[in-house]
Structure 1
């Protein structure tokens, strides 16, 4: 099967963040949060929640989820940046140039904190928030996972019966299940009547194979402790890494009775729902996420998804897509 050409940035690219340029902001306007809210749409508010949940999204990722075109996304994101609702930076790449990367800005953090009855310190936001993300060694990993999942979520724009009705970040997953497993994300892929609940391990190749193998025991322990069985999707950067993982993990997955499938960015760059996923068993053929849901009849969503008294507006899941267009200006 031929591989899709490697992109200039994102999953599968030769992407690094050895340096970054922070976009300067004009004289700040609407420092008064009450005044600022008159200029914000429901879609803008949704975006602040998404950036609090997922930390960083590129212009292309935001446009994919929430805007009819890249140009319209750029215009609105620039306005939100000028009002300090968002911060942004642009990392250095080995070739070409990266898109603008957006994070939660000071006004956006203050807005979320006000809605939750907190201060920005309790929210976890600091003035160094954007700089820490821009220079984080995990930036490429986080963006790669977000790239994969934004493509899955945005499928609903062209096929309303498909998409991600639920997408939890690494941090939200750790809050719920961190004493047993710490996936890079948890999500539900739906296609018509078929549902694939899954944990995502986004593998960049930086961890040794035995360490990845050791994670399978934790997922088996989760299934035993909770009596629920989400699938485990392992996404790797290259097909060669995929093959190395499959050689190492197949026996372990069978012994632990886990539903595991793997793929790589050599295939899933723009259509990760497609026939790129191979179940972790000998001589398995690549198939779609929907077919995995029909093939694995014993799957069930993870426990701990129901709201509790301990939840707040900032710990409940954020819808992967913004409010309907008629709700936005």
Structure 2
């Protein structure tokens, strides 16, 4: 009897480690990560990372692309799920198995997406937190939601670039990420806070909105715009060159920078009839 497509997928199972499964799940959730990001997330040695990624590519579990760099050279490799990676994740989550054409189109749409740089920057924020947690056992990124997941979970009341829960020594801070690339006016950036205010009124949960900005000058301009705004929504800013786990966050209306773990974060009051909280009283949706 000739082998079927599922037989072909089963044949590579002996080559898939538990780390590989975590890597595939992360790419399923967040679509694209660079070699350097995957190195910091899963590997100690860069060479080991490069070898393993190419082995997974040879198995059809991963695929990659990169563009020319302005001025010469190439940008880093951007890794995505390959066709077998899409098939494996579909099986893991009881989704319809994609065709080779569908997998190829997904790759093409992702690589040609004009918002690709923005997506990589947003992912970089969470990669840095995850890398920090690898080095510091007392810290943990307990939730990392992509833009698509956050929009779905929050029923599009808000559409942050990401949402997370950051825990240090048992204390948990929830936050919403707005990764800024400078493509929007700061007036429009400030206007995003209206939807967060609406969510606070609806759910009584006050998580800080983190504006991660491309330059100190842009950060200073945003703070000037925020001066006339009521403090209903907690806001803090930092720049892309900063480690988001550190004392780099400048809350609106203050002059001193604090750690992410020290930002105010009110999870609200869980009630028995409110399905938006988990067993630990942490806001879900």
Q: What TM-score do the two structures reach when normalised by structure 2?
A: 0.87
Find the partner of 2:82 among 84, 105, 121.
105
Cα deviations across residues 26-75 of structure 1 (Å, max 9, x unaligned)? xxxx9811111121011111111111110100111111111111111111
Matches of 2:259 and 2:95 in 1, distance apart? 43
Task: Tell me, in whole angstroms, the C-alpha distance in 2 between the residues paired with 1:184 and 1:240.
Answer: 22
Structure 1: unaligned runs, 5 residues or longer: 1-29, 308-315, 317-329
1:274 aligned to which of 230, 246, 258: 246
Distance 1:297 1:112 in 2: 34
Matches within 5 A, 1:249-268: 249-252=226-229, 255-265=230-240, 267-268=241-242
* Secondary structure of the structure 2 residue equivalent to 1:180: coil
2:147 alignment partner in structure 1:
170
- Runs of 4+ displaced beyond 4 Å: 299-307
Query: Of the candidates 116, 138, 143, which is equivalent to residue 93 of structure 2?
Result: 116
Q: By how many angstroms is 1:148 displaced?
A: 1.5
Partner of 2:3: none
Unaligned stretches of 5+ in structure 2? 1-5
Give the deviation of 1:88 after TM superposition.
Answer: 0.2
Q: Give deviations 1:207-249, integer Å, cap 9, x for gaps.
A: 1222212211100110111121211111011111111111112
1:70 to 2:46 alignment: yes
Instruction: Indicate how the Cα distance of structure 1 residues 109 and 276 shifts in structure 2: closer, same or farther if over 3 A, else same.
Output: same
Distance 1:182 1:304 in 2: 17
For residues 239-318 of structure 1, what are the structure 2 equivalents within 5 Å? 239-252=216-229, 255-265=230-240, 267-268=241-242, 271-281=243-253, 283-292=254-263, 296=264, 298-299=266-267, 304=276
Name the stretch that deviates more: 221-230 or 31-40: 31-40
Question: Partners in 2 of 1:299 and 1:259 — Cα distance?
Answer: 13
1:49-88 matched pairs, under 5 angstroms: 49-88=25-64
User: Pairwise CA RMSD of aligned residues?
Assistant: 2.5
Structure 1 residues 31 and 85: alpha-carbon distance in aligned structure 2, compared to 1, 3 A threshold: farther
Q: Report the secondary structure of 1:182's partner residue.
A: coil
The Cα shift of 1:272 comes to 2.0
CA contact (8 A) 1:195 1:290 kept: yes
Higher relative contact order (CA 8 A, sep 6+): 1
More moved, 86-95 vs 75-84: 86-95
Contact 2:247 2:259 in 1 (8 A): yes
Aligned residue-pair number: 269
